[in-house]
Amino acid sequence: MSENKADKYRRVAYYPGCALEGTGHAYNRSTRQLGKALGLDLVEVPDWNCCGAMEAKNVDPKVQTYLSARVLSLTANRLGMDVVMAPCNGCYHNLKKAEHDLANDPGSAEVVERLARKAGDPAYRPGDVETVHALEWLKAAIGEDELRRRMRGGLKGLKVANYYGCMYTRPRHIFPEKDSGPGSESTAKPHFMDDLLAAAGAENVEFPLKTACCGGAHTLSDSDMSTRLVLNILQAAEAAGAEVIATECPTCHSGLELHQVRAEKKLGVRTGVKIIYFTQLLGLALGLSPRKVGLQENVSDAREVLAARGVT
Amino acid sequence: MPIHEQSLIRPEDLRTHDQLVVDGVDVSGHWSTFIQSRVVSDYNEELQEQIASLPGGEYIHRCWQCGSCTNACTVNAVNPDFNPRFWIYLVRMGLESELLRDKEIIWQCVSCNKCTYACPRDVFPEGVMKALSHWLELKGHTRKSPSTVFDEEFTEQIIRRGRIEEGRLMRRFFARTGQRLRQDWLVEMARRLLRHLPVGLLTRMGLSSLRAPRARGWAGARDALSEYVHEQNAGHRRALGLADLIETARQDASGASGG
């Protein structure tokens, strides 16, 4: 990773998104604490709105493009910044998709411009803002070597299944910087989370369902399907020997938690693997307290496993 | 047409006879199974055009039936009847009545985008699944799926306030689909959460569900979006030839109430 990029990412705009103010609050909290501990500046996008999540596009795809473009516009015009970091896979995906559509689809660009004019927002010009995920942010701004130097305690060989979900890598065309040679992220077999957690002292298990779907889009509207998909992921992680599943998306995270409980209640299938945000793990490895990284806010209670390993 | 994952012979079209002699040949029993012939005459030649007129369906014409989408599909692994390649084939052939046999499961696409990732022709099968579900609902072949109800509730909340509050969203969704909020698994989840959650956070969460969060400076966006969504919906009905039907129904209704 070039020095340039590392410097550029030391101070970025921060777009938490709706889920991180609700069910994903622990992810918000641990991400901010991690930034603070590592000396990275996060400047929250003022007056941000929902990116459209998985739902607005089904009412109309261009509604989602407008919603996401508005966040990019606020970053460029209100903050005057050119990098926005989104920890939520859904937000990250939608911002990347808006960027791609505005640059490549004149129909989308025309509708978004018209809506922005009517709404009285400043227009967004594609190329003005780069959207990065929390994983890309940490990997570029800190990197494995620096992380190893700053480790206080580390993860002590904790067995981790790294779970990336769908929206971080698919579809390929909205992530032009991925699959672009050494050092870049892979869409077929992503590894940024593996790299960071390994540097923090975790033992990553060979987990075949890194990018499998948890059914997050239908977590409430088709719960039986979601429970089956989640159970697949939980059981595969256990079979691979994982003690915890590390997550990077609030929808995946709460989906795994919710349907782990639902599988117990509805199918009588109990799984013991714990679910935890990768930022919580990194925070603990840096010596932050369990409370600071919001461990008490998780439904899936990993405290016993972490204590047994001597991580907390 | 290479079809590997879907048999075109339906179990109900297989015929065996306990006692049957045809032209002096005994064809009784399982060893001479017949296949009932099937003739399709009700092609809907506009089907592909209609699907292509809805968001997500634009690129259906590019499909060359390789089956990568079905091979990659998350839902297909759970239910083999969920078959994007086959449905795209039926639409392109205009086989509407065949498509309708699967109308109750098409909405179950989880939008994982594995199909779109695998597709060598940029058909965007995930979008096609959404277009198919919309078409089924607009044409009145199915009721609004729970997923559509969720999408609409979600989008209405965004348009109104610019942000989503998950507690409110869940309550409204369960109410609109006639489900009880007190599902045993939700209660169990809340119980586990409460066991170790600090009081401060609970108060904050409670407050945010009463005082729904809003994006500031949202009024302009709200008006622009409502107008746009309304326009688009009218456009979809027109494209499917439903506008006249709705107008007639509206006139009938006002005529009846006037008389």
In sequence order, what DSSP letters do the residues of chain A get, joined into one string? --HHHHHHTTEEEE---SGGGTTTHHHHHHHHHHHHHHT-EEEEPTT-----TTTHHHH-HHHHHHHHHHHHHHHHHTS--SEEEE-SHHHHHHHHHHHHHHHH-HHHHHHHHHHHHHHTPPP--TTS-EEEEHHHHHHHHTHHHHHHHH-SS--TT-EEEE---STTT-SGGG-TTTTSSTTS--SSS--HHHHHHHHTT-EE---TTTT----GGGTTTTHHHHHHHHHHHHHHHHHTT-SEEEES-HHHHHHHHHHHHHIIIII------EEEEHHHHHHHHTT--TTTTTGGG-SS--HHHHHHHT--
Q: What pLDDT score was predicted for residue B30?
A: 87
Distance CA A96, CA A69 (A): 10
Torsion angles phi and psi, residue A131, rounded to 5: -95, 130
**pLDDT at position A277 over 60:** yes
- In this complex, the residue of A60, A170, A229 whose CB is nearest that of residue B117 is A170
Q: What pLDDT score was predicted for residue B55?
A: 95
pLDDT (tens digit per residue) in A24-80? 999 999 999 999 999 999 999 999 999 999 999 999 999 999 999 999 999 999 999
Q: What pLDDT score was predicted for residue A205?
A: 98
Q: Tell me B18's DSSP state.
A: S
Are the beta carbons of B189 and A213 separated by less than 8 Å?
no
- In this complex, the residue of B110, B164, B217 whose CB is nearest that of residue A18 is B164
- Are the C-beta atoms of B16 and B30 separated by less than 8 Å? yes
What are the extents of the domains in chain B? 1-38, 47-138, 146-210
- Are the C-beta atoms of B74 and A213 separated by less than 8 Å? yes
pLDDT (tens digit per residue) in B8-53? 788 889 999 999 999 999 999 988 888 998 888 889 999 999 999 9
pLDDT cut 70: percent of chain A above it: 99
CATH code: domain B47-138 is 1.10.1060.10
Residues of chain A contacting residue B197, judged by C-beta atoms under 8 Å apart: 296-297
Lowest mean pLDDT among A268-272, B122-126, B191-195: B191-195
pLDDT (tens digit per residue) in B54-75? 999 999 999 999 999 999 999 9
Q: What pLDDT score was predicted for residue A133?
A: 98
**pLDDT at position A239 over 90:** yes
Six-digit token string for A130: 């780069």
Q: What pLDDT score was predicted for residue B83?
A: 97
| Chain B stretch 2-41, residues whose beta carbon is closer than 8 A to a beta carbon of chain A | none
Residues B203-221 have a mean pLDDT of 76
| Chain A stretch 84-113, residues whose beta carbon is closer than 8 A to a beta carbon of chain B | 111
**pLDDT at position B204 over 90:** no
Model confidence at A258, pLDDT cuts 50, 70, 90, reads very high
pLDDT (tens digit per residue) in A5-14? 889 999 999 9
Q: Is the peptide bond before A171 cis (omega within 30 degrees of 0)?
A: yes
Model confidence at B244, pLDDT cuts 50, 70, 90, reads confident
pLDDT (tens digit per residue) in A142-196? 999 999 999 999 999 999 999 999 999 999 999 999 999 999 999 999 999 999 9
Q: Tell me B21's DSSP state.
A: E
Residues B219-240 have a mean pLDDT of 93
All structural domains of chain A, each given as residue ranges with its CATH number in brackets, are 3-133 (1.20.1050.140), 152-309 (3.40.50.11810)
**pLDDT at position B256 over 60:** no
Lowest mean pLDDT among A127-136, A203-212, B110-119, B231-240: B231-240
Q: Does A269 touch chain B (CB under 8 A)?
A: no
Average predicted confidence (pLDDT) for chain A: 96
Average predicted confidence (pLDDT) for chain B: 88
pLDDT (tens digit per residue) in B88-146? 999 999 999 999 999 999 999 999 999 999 999 999 999 999 999 999 999 999 999 99
Q: What pLDDT score was predicted for residue B9?
A: 83
Q: What pLDDT score was predicted for residue B39?
A: 84
Torsion angles phi and psi, residue A155, rounded to 5: -95, 0
The interface predicted TM-score (ipTM) is 0.94
pLDDT cut 70: percent of chain B above it: 89
Are the beta carbons of B166 and A170 separated by less than 8 Å?
no
Are the beta carbons of A218 and B173 separated by less than 8 Å?
no
Residues of chain A contacting residue B173, judged by C-beta atoms under 8 Å apart: 220-221
Are the beta carbons of B213 and A18 separated by less than 8 Å?
yes
**pLDDT at position B257 over 70:** no
| Chain A stretch 126-165, residues whose beta carbon is closer than 8 A to a beta carbon of chain B | none
- Are the C-beta atoms of A187 and A178 separated by less than 8 Å? yes
Q: Does B142 touch chain A (CB under 8 A)?
A: no
**pLDDT at position B1 over 60:** no
